[in-house]
Chains A and B, each alone.
Chain A
């Protein structure tokens, strides 16, 4: 469709005209204009909602909201075209078969062997061995070999050695969806463990000997402690309501030596609404400070994040400080349980704070234990009530921790943002389906590529420059401050306003330090070469030493730093209340686009690879350096004044 206008979200006056293309996998908008022809690519699987608004004189507006928090506003001249686009997108954005997803057609040009290697990068067997199991207390159980006991569990599950197949099967029959207690994390230092399950089918009075034995076995696997915590991550009211449906929670009287604890994390529906409300706040056009803070509070989002963190902190404390094992469950044990177990693991074990470690953690607590990726993130058309930002919340918890412990994580914010992006993109097979069973049936590993290999290949882009393996923050358990610490939880604009580059700090400390570190490394190498040459010269005197000094392209390095300044010259609308300050105009037009350049750049090749930005940014810098002092785009004196007039009349 031609002559489509792409509107700027913050100012309807700034719009670019271009052509809209729909392909089997992407929506592509190509800007008219001979020089740049900027492109915006959006994967169909990223589209979360499409809204056709009332036709106006200029055309028919179409609003596309994406799951990675991008919002695209198009105006299509002809109502008919708009309707066609709308209908097509609705169909394309909601595939009904897995085979329609992008990962089955995505080909990064790797051979078969490389693909297989990619899938082997994260190996859970290796991970359990790293934790220290199997050992005297824990063993692999094959009861779920053919998914015979629980179809949402992996085939290989670690259970206490004293738990016989009879106990496991008996316990599984007493648990929702037969998700029996299984090992999530084992603490080598003190034998304490984190186990996970679903809620017991206790109703008002039912009990199950095998389930009681199972919990007993978990306690015995930690000889240092005479009780275990059972943590129900739901609000007490929700858990009690479940009893009426024959489900519920453990009765302390029936189980010997347990301490039962509720931690009120709300359910997926509350979380979905909360995110919705927060995104509405993010989308406000020039909100006041009060609008924003009030909206943020009203959404309850940060309160929910804190609830998840508090649960993780409680468990980490029980394991690390008290040496007590913990059994965690919610209702089905695949949402809140996954969040809480992985936050606790992250606090306990520095390994999970490395790049590889976080991949392993997601693979273990989320992918292998049957977190319903397909349902939660709406990869295939399904029940909208199943959709909920469960893993987004975990990813945010990691970010909140990174803010509090800046040296503790090997990866940077970009790493988290890209993982979030790909959970929704369906470009890689990792997050497909709802369980391991389904993925095996679909032969995901043979037919698609692994995200982890892709991220690993580009790991230089994801490094946190402040991370040093010997640093104290990279050792042992993290102890976030518990109370009073509300102010420690902050709004994550890097994620939820990811595509509004104008809102972010204009210079990135991370990128700057990475550039410095890179230069440092080159200097180290050069130093070595120079020292060698010096030694040679001193030794052999003669002049046949012609090793060329490794010339550093210093200017290039510097260029890398200063490109950070690029957005510096991009003023915002500072006088909204005056209805647009004077000729916001001419000189502005081209600069505001910088945000678009970046947007487009991120999505080109449907890979949110921010590292590619540096070129673009320096390009922008040229632009912005030029424009204030003159250049072809500046208005004539008169036109400038005209717009002044208009403005002040309005003001």
Chain B
């Protein structure tokens, strides 16, 4: 297919661009295969807007006489308006944008066409290999091993080729366990707490069914993570009722009689369409132009978004508490183990592991706990809050995770190496990107698409020094402690950086950020100067003494 076929009107002049809090611009609009480009063409101050078609969530058109207006709502929640003279041009452009922003084939996506303008210093596709992770782990414990049982994605299609499992369980047993777990997602190591040797495992639900099927290998596998005489906790992200109902469909939960050393806690985390609806309602509330304070608060409340945040944070804190305070190993799962499970395990690591609060460490966490762990990004992030498609697999699972990280960040503003922009950047790229990182639903699909060969990795770009500097938190001081956030409603706030980003003037807040950077930078400069002078003086003095 040629993109040109879809572009009936590649260019329109005298188009007016309206964006919130910016003066309207007059200029030329161009459509290419992957971009909508607007250029103000002004000699003195040419301004350009490049918008990826894949970033467009919905397109609306209106006509007043022959002046057409296209309202474009983006996945990053921005809304822009284009006034295009000429009914035909406007209709053509609108239908082209619609077609180009909803291409079904992954291989037509921009990452397959994108050629970077920067030099790749480090290939992001091989920056975070599980083998490296395992090397670190082996330096503190020898109770685990790297298994290649899933080399051909034959045991579990949504797992990566290598996983970390207890040493005493062989590949044969893993194959059996895989048959006992939903989608073959047998329990694997998610996190090892060096402080006390406790482990966090994740999996999918056990397939006990109505007749209480059991699997000795499964029991042996998870028991292998327990110290003798100690208990572990199973955190099930479904309410008991749902878990019980799941048995009718062949699913289920770990029953006490077969897992006597494990205590089950049901900590409900909302999923799928409920989350998507909540997301849509919240964005609606944020875009509401009315002046009434009551309506804002009740809409915020009705969206339930912050309730989901609170529930998720609470579950993650609970998992962390079990590991750090109770000195117990933890197994986390829901039904499929690809959504709420990953939210809990990754957030618990943010709380427990100082390494995950560094930029590099956080990237590794996203790769390990989301990309390699098989969170279906392509399905979940196909559309954002403005789309009408309402597919049941769309859900802002990853965004919810990022917001929880932001909430913790807000409570511990000096304990993270990255800043808010880093999280926002990840949100944007998960939904639309020139990089291949978030394409596909799991490693298996990524391998089939040959993404590492055919596309550029987001990490190759982010980890360049000039990009990194934008994402660094000037207040960062390594904090080796476990950080326990408050989950009280008074402590949680709406993530304005994402939800009000386009609805509020940000000038004053940006100035404050600059001021903070300036204070720290000046301090560091002075420190360097003083140190240099001290050295110089010391040298001169020793020189003198020598002369004497």
Task: Spell out A's residues near B (CB within 8 Å).
Answer: 282, 286-294, 296-297, 300, 302-303, 306, 404-408, 465-466, 468, 471-473, 481, 483-491, 493, 497, 500, 502-507, 509, 512-513, 516-517, 519-520, 523-524, 526-527, 530-531, 533-534, 537, 541, 543, 549, 561-562, 564-565, 568-572, 574-575, 578, 581-583, 587-588, 624-625, 628-629, 640-641, 644, 648, 651
Contacts and interface: CB of A to CB of B under 8 A. Distances in A.
Given A503-B486, A541-B544, A487 B314 contact: no
A289 B492 contact: yes
A289 B489 contact: yes
A405 B500 CA distance: 16
Nearest to A296: B297
A520 B519 contact: yes
Which of A465, A506, A641 has the most C-beta atoms of chain B within 10 angstroms of its own C-beta? A506
B533 A531 contact: yes
Contact of B481 (A512, A527, A569): A569
A293 B413 contact: no
Contacts of B522: 520
Contact of A292 (B265, B288, B309, B490): B490
Nearest to A496: B490
B512 A406 contact: yes
A471 B484 contact: no
A305 B292 CA distance: 13
A297 B297 contact: yes
A271 to B, nearest CB: 15
A527 B529 contact: yes
Given A302-B297, A516-B523, A568-B481, A481 B504 contact: yes
Contacts of A520: 519, 522-523, 526
Interface string B519-541: 11011001101100110110011
Contacts of A588: 325
B129 to A, nearest CB: 32
A293 B487 contact: no
A625 B485 CA distance: 16
Contacts of A489: 293
Contacts of B3: none
Interface centre among B304, B415, B486, B548 (most CB of A within 10 A): B486
A212 B196 CA distance: 81
Interface residues of B, number: 83
A286 B545 CA distance: 69
B332 to A, nearest CB: 14
26 contacts: A289-B301, A289-B310, A303-B293, A407-B511, A472-B511, A481-B504, A483-B289, A484-B290, A484-B291, A484-B503, A486-B292, A487-B286, A487-B296, A503-B486, A505-B413, A509-B413, A512-B413, A513-B520, A533-B537, A537-B540, A537-B544, A543-B544, A549-B537, A569-B481, A575-B318, A583-B326
B484 A570 contact: yes
A472 B515 CA distance: 12
B42 interface: no
B294 interface: yes
A581 B318 contact: yes
Contacts of A287: 488-489
A648 B511 contact: no
A293 B297 contact: yes
B406 to A, nearest CB: 12
A549 B540 CA distance: 14
Contact of B415 (A481, A486, A507): A507
Contacts of A487: 286, 296, 300, 494, 496, 500, 503-504
Give the interface SS of chain B, mostly helix, strand, loop or mixed: helix
A648 B266 CA distance: 10
A294 B541 CA distance: 70
Q: Which 8 A-B pairs have the closest CB atoms?
A: A292-B489, A406-B512, A486-B296, A297-B297, A293-B301, A571-B484, A303-B293, A523-B526
Given A405-B508, A517-B519, A640-B326, A651 B527 contact: no
A503 B490 contact: yes
A297 to B, nearest CB: 4
Nearest to A570: B484
B150 to A, nearest CB: 34
B179 interface: no
Nearest to A547: B537
B138 interface: no
A481 B20 CA distance: 13
B537 A519 contact: no
Contact of B412 (A481, A506, A578, A648): A506
A473 B534 contact: no
B292 to A, nearest CB: 7
Interface string B327-367: 00000000000000000000000000000000000000000
B354 to A, nearest CB: 11
Nearest to B327: A640
A406 B289 contact: no
Nearest to A466: B515
A55 to B, nearest CB: 31
Nearest to A516: B523
The winner among A484, A503, A516, A624 for most chain B CB atoms within 10 A is A484
B511 A471 contact: yes
Nearest to A641: B231
A568 B477 CA distance: 14
Interface string B3-16: 00000000000000
A466 B516 contact: yes
B475 A512 contact: yes
Given A471-B515, A506-B486, 4 more contacts: A483-B291, A488-B504, A509-B475, A582-B322
B144 to A, nearest CB: 23
Given A289-B492, A569-B481, A513 B526 contact: no
Given A512-B475, A527-B533, A561 B265 contact: no
B410 interface: yes
A28 B307 CA distance: 39
Interface string B487-514: 1111111101000100111001101100
B523 A523 contact: yes
Given A291-B489, A302-B293, A509-B413, A644 B263 contact: yes
Contacts of B490: 282, 292, 491, 493, 497, 500, 503
Interface in B65-85: none
Given A289-B306, A487-B504, A524-B526, A505 B410 contact: yes
Contacts of A587: 325
Interface string B73-103: 0000000000000000000000000000000
A418 B109 CA distance: 58
B63 to A, nearest CB: 27
B529 A293 contact: no
Interface in B274-294: 286, 288-294
Contacts of A578: 265
B414 interface: yes
B178 interface: no
Nearest to A574: B317
B28 interface: no
B224 interface: no
B488 A503 contact: yes
A575 B511 contact: no
A530 B326 contact: no
Nearest to A558: B477
Contact of B491 (A473, A481, A504, A571): A504
Contacts of A406: 508-509, 511-512, 515
A517 B292 CA distance: 41
Nearest to A526: B530
Contacts of A486: 291-293, 295-297
B537 A530 contact: yes
B306 A571 contact: no
Nearest to B488: A503
B325 A530 contact: no
A287 B486 CA distance: 13
A266 to B, nearest CB: 13
Contacts of B291: 483-484, 486
B226 to A, nearest CB: 13
